Structure 1
Amino acid sequence: MNGQASLPGSPGTPTGRPRMTRSARRAQLLEAARDVFGHRGYHAAAMDEIAERAGVSKPVLYQHFPGKLDLYRALVQGAADDMVRTVRAAIRSTTDNKARVQATIQAYFDVVSSRDGAMRLVFETDTRATPEIAGLVDRATSDCIDAVTEAVTTDAGLEPERARLLAVGLVGLSTTAARYWLDAGLQPPREDAITLMSQLAWRGIGGFPRQEG
């Protein structure tokens, strides 16, 4: 015979395992990258280590992400989108404004304490000096402010400018408190921290009663 017969599962499918789909491979690479970036930070992380962590060759990694910044951008974009969804879901979870304030603050503590650490990238990214990455984070923050503004405008009957300023205050309080809590070693306990910040926020926002109709 001319040429050699193909080995079982070849090419690229050792031990006969089916070839991973592109979307599944991308998810695998992102998970490995998240681990490496989480431990090393952006600047110290290396594509070699990310490829090794994912169990692929560097050419396979570069097929999906041409460079380290492209890979980090994808991670931050996904984390930012998840953060916005989490905050919006918290606002929609109840029509009771006091409970809604607590749910919104809890959403930020959920973000920074997520087990896989994905959404922490929005708060911990060390490439904020890169305009594109900074823009992703800023847009996510603005989207969260928009969601709170809409709820405040509807429920308190305030004009948009006043409602947005209140929303900026609530998002800023939540973001700063959650980041500090993370840096302080998750102390005080999560539920205590959420209750403290919710009480602080509600004593201010509660001064704007819900307008029926």
Structure 2
Amino acid sequence: MTSTPHRVQRLPRAQRRAQLLQAAQAVFVRKGYHAAAMEDIADEAGVSKPVLYQHFPGKLELYLALLESECDRLESLVLEALDSTDDHKERVYATIAAFFEFVGDKGEAFRLVFESDLTGDSRVRHRIDALEAQLGDAISHRIAQDTGLPKSFSDLLGVTLAGMSQVSARAWLAHSATIPQADAALAAGHLAWRGLSSYPSQATLRGAAGTEAGEGGAADGGDGGA
């Protein structure tokens, strides 16, 4: 009796591409870029190497596609957090929580962004640098709006908050079995807010100015009636 050769299930192109990217992510996270082979990724996906090469001409193109996807995802999370509230304090906490959400996702895809072993490649370095610049600019823009600080100070604080957020989120992983993600993000938020709260928000300044104006008006009115 002859056995029928195993045939790979045909999938729509977009669905197959997503499957291959998921397999590549698992292999890259587990082995690192340099130790991973296209054959490993094909095996992980349950396809032949020719099928893999139909979608991606090489390992680097696979890695770059994954990196692009993860950078876009983190940027979306941070931008959504920045736009989620008009309250300065809540915005700080939400921004930090976004980094923890990204790092805490199953699959540890964040390692492709923050712990890549391929930063010597100019395309990888350029994409990571662009992400860091975009996040820093977005956060600093909100800090400038909320505090009225000059752009140079806001830029510095924006980069600092982004860096602190991703480092603290990655450090939390070592304690994730004992510290819930939400509690860890809240603790990092407390630390960040203690610093940023020393710069009064524009809303606070407007409120103070209004109070002073009201007190001055009352005093003037009292003097006029005397």
TM-score interval (norm. to shorter)? 0.7 to 0.9
Let me know the Cα RMSD of the aligned residues: 1.9
Contact 1:51 1:61 in 2 (8 A): yes
The one-letter code matched in structure 2 to 1:104 is T
Matching of residue 110 in structure 1 with residue 101 in structure 2: yes
Contact 1:82 1:119 in 2 (8 A): no
- Structure 1 residue runs of 5 or longer lacking an equivalent are 1-12
Aligned-pair CA distance for 1:129:
2.0
Show CA shifts across 1:95-114 (max 9, x none): 11111111111111111111
Alignment of 1:130-145 (within 5 A): 130-145=121-136
Contact 1:113 1:120 in 2 (8 A): no
Structure 1 residues 86 and 73 mapped into 2: Cα distance closer, same or farther (>3 Å)?
A: same
Q: TM-score, normalised by structure 2?
A: 0.81
Contact 1:114 1:120 in 2 (8 A): no
The one-letter code matched in structure 2 to 1:139 is A
Higher CA-based Rg: 2
Q: TM-score, normalised by structure 1?
A: 0.86
Show CA shifts across 1:128-184 (max 9, x none): 2222112211111111111101111111112211111110111111121112222x2
* Residue of structure 1 equivalent to 2:164: 173
Give the Cα separation in 1 of the matches to 2:89 and 2:146.
Answer: 12
Give the Cα separation in 1 of the matches to 2:15 and 2:185.
Answer: 36
Number of paired residues?
Answer: 198
Moved over 6 A (4+): none
Aligned-pair CA distance for 1:193:
1.7
* Residue of structure 2 equivalent to 1:28: 19
Give the Cα separation in 2 of the matches to 1:120 and 1:108.
Answer: 13
Matching of residue 89 in structure 1 with residue 80 in structure 2: yes
Show CA shifts across 1:40-68 (max 9, x none): 11111111111122122111111211111
Show CA shifts across 1:72-121 (max 9, x none): 11111110110010111111111111111111111111111112323342
Alignment of 1:154-193 (within 5 A): 154-182=145-173, 184-186=174-176, 188-193=179-184
